[in-house]
Structure 1
């Protein structure tokens, strides 16, 4: 540092700083003030901010989509398998004396009317017998004609006294006996004709011919058994085997959709009878589903059915909301504090609409729809309501 000498009164000499040293001291003071302000600013930044100025924690929480399922009316759907059959099957056999089949007039798959001839049986002997009986009727009628003529002549002679009243009574009785013999002969002829008519094998009702076991030249009798098998009215059905629990609540009138094996088509039907008994060995019962005739429905074939009946009210969730572990099925719900909680549930019916929750939920909870596998009970999340389907 440079100093300058000066004199003051009394003769003393005073050393003063040089003029060049003063700006340097001013710069040092300014730099020190700047450093001090910067240090105070850093101290306030790290230690002086209030908690209100801290960033909100909720902005860093994971967002999860939630839904309030409510309670919906859900149709109960039961899946079953069974065998197709004629709803009312009619076995057709020989109703008369039988004989040799001469012609078969129908084939399987053909529709017939009630009383239509399915096959004819040789009746050459029966025809001759009927002709003989018809001749006897003619003879009896001739006897009646003769007896009546003699009775008429006797009535004219009795008034003249040539014939007694006793003779008149005998002639009247002879006429009456002849009339009775005519009636007997006619009844016998009618019986023979009826028997001949029963030789033909006829359809007992209108329907569809399913099978044929009769051929020309075949000898048949009342003990031959079934020659044709028919479906009355062509009506079909599915005899669906159902578990004992599935039969509970199932009533006639329930809608059904039947799909034959190997067919891409489904046929609408309706349950018309539910078995009143359960097989003690298989623990199953039979639900009979009525179906309209269609060539694709072949009796004896196998088919599956989806039967809808017995509605219930329960929460309905998509499958993504249901989680499963060794303890069973569960869902995650978000409580009022925004934390995840596990809720064990019991699953009901599963359909295309979703999964019905039989128990465990009231329908008012906020249920996590997806990403449940990445959450933990007690974890804080930011719930986001799911968009409605209408939007």
Structure 2
């Protein structure tokens, strides 16, 4: 069956109007899409013609300035007496009769440490003393003979030659007295040298002698004395680290096996460098402390020279076969290499001992992906304090 719509002219007009409106909307939408597409196309093309795309990498830069820093150097070394004085036999030696001190004893300068047998030397001194008495008696007799001769010379009983002879006899007797006295003083000095005495006040470190032992000038040291009990730490450091230190630099020493932190200071820096190891010795003076035992081991933290130096993050400092360097952003935002000498490395970063003034724009990181001559887009980062 076919259905036909007949009808009313108003109904046909409404249908035509709807169809025209839909066509108008469709055509308008198409024109709008085309217009937007053309606008986008021309806008992209216009941008390309207006300016090229910037392909320079973005890098973070830092201007370090200069900050107050104090160098800290860690070292290890041997503990020793600052003045380790060996004590031996000053005289001819003999059998040791007494040992009066032991290791760990505090002594005064000149104090007797050990006594060597002196029986033979004492008898020799007694014999010389008797010779003095004999020489004095001879001198007294010669003086009396001379006086009597002088009384008789006026009467002609004694000649002038006899007077001269008696005067010479008196002079000879007096000389023998003086000689015997000198010999006795020498012998007593030798007896005194049989006492082993402390050369200085201090702490006895070792004792290597016992009663009954025979000692002589060729014997090894009988005692070792630390002058005034003062100690030191002897640390070996590289020549580059020695250059950062000076006499008087403070240090803190910790003996191995102890939690003590003993303050001290450098009192001597080696004037020579070992050509094989490129190291020298730093000697840190320390006060007496029972924990400081010569021959032991200790660690030290040494404070170097303080100053105002640039401080950079560790990521900013690179190294190669030529040494340490950083990249700086120069005029025109072009990368340039700058060789530097680093100082202390700490929690805050790396101090730059030389090579930077502190006003440069230094690449803070990603320097390994750059080369000198590259152009970059720098982004400033605040320096750490």
TM-score, normalization: structure 1? Answer: 0.69
Output the CA distance in 2 between the equivalents of 1:306 and 1:387: 27
**Paired residue for 2:165?**
170
1:267 aligns with 2:263: yes
Task: From 335, 342, 362, give the equivalent of 1:348.
Answer: 342
Question: Is 1:132 the counterpart of 2:127 in the alignment?
Answer: yes
Equivalences for residues 248-267 of structure 1 within 5 A: 249=243, 252-253=246-247, 255-257=249-251, 258-264=253-259, 265-267=261-263
1:117 and 2:112 correspond = yes
Q: Which residue of 2 aligns with 1:197?
A: 192
Structure 2: segments with no counterpart, 5+ residues? 1-6, 11-33, 44-58
Note if contact 1:254-1:307 (Cα within 8 Å) is conserved in structure 2: no
CA apart distance, 1:289: 1.5
Aligned to 1:163, the other structure's residue is in SS state: coil
How far the C-alpha of 1:363 sits from its partner, in A, is 3.3
8 Å Cα contact 2:86-2:223 kept in structure 1: yes
For residue 350 of structure 2, give the secondary structure of its aligned residue in structure 1: strand
- 1:77–1:349 CA contact under 8 A, matched in 2: no
| Gap change, CA 1:362 and 1:148, over 3 Å in 2 | closer
- What is the CA distance between 1:221 and its match in structure 2? 1.0
Q: Are the counterparts in 1 of residues 270 and 281 from structure 2 also a CA contact under 8 Å?
A: yes
Structural mapping, 1:89-108, within 5 Å = 89-108=84-103
SS in structure 2 at match of 1:161: coil
Is the Cα contact below 8 Å between 2:267 and 2:284 reproduced in 1?
A: yes
Q: Distance in 2 between matches of 1:196 and 1:324?
A: 71
What's the offset of the Cα at 1:92? 1.2
Where does residue 148 of structure 1 map in the other structure? 143
- 1:186–1:213: structure 2 CA closer, same or farther, 3 Å change rule? same
RMSD: 4.9
Residue-by-residue CA offset, 1:272-308 (whole Å, 9 max, x unaligned): 23242424xx423332324133223322222333444
Measure the CA separation in 2 of the matches of 1:241 and 1:315: 28
Q: Which has the higher Rg, Structure 1 or Structure 2?
A: 1
After superposition, the Cα gap between the structure-2 partners of 1:286 and 1:260, relative to the gap in structure 1 and judged at 3 Å, is farther
Instruction: Give the 3 Å change call, closer, same or farther, for CA 72–196 of structure 1 in structure 2.
Output: same
Equivalence for 1:228: 223
Whether contact under 8 Å (1:260, 1:297) holds in the other structure is: yes
In the aligned structure 2, how far is the partner of 1:360 from the partner of 1:169? 94
Q: Residue 195 and residue 250 in structure 1: after superposition, are their counterparts in 2 closer, same or farther (change >3 A)?
A: farther
- Asked whether the 8 Å contact 2:242–2:280 carries over to 1, the reply is no
CA distance in 2, matches of 1:387, 1:346: 18
1:85 equivalenced with 2:80 (yes/no) = yes
Pairwise mapping of residues 198-217 of structure 1 onto structure 2 (< 5 A)?
198-217=193-212
After superposition, the Cα gap between the structure-2 partners of 1:317 and 1:169, relative to the gap in structure 1 and judged at 3 Å, is: same
Q: TM-score, normalised by structure 2?
A: 0.70
Distance, in Å, in 2 between the alignment partners of 1:200 and 1:183 is 27
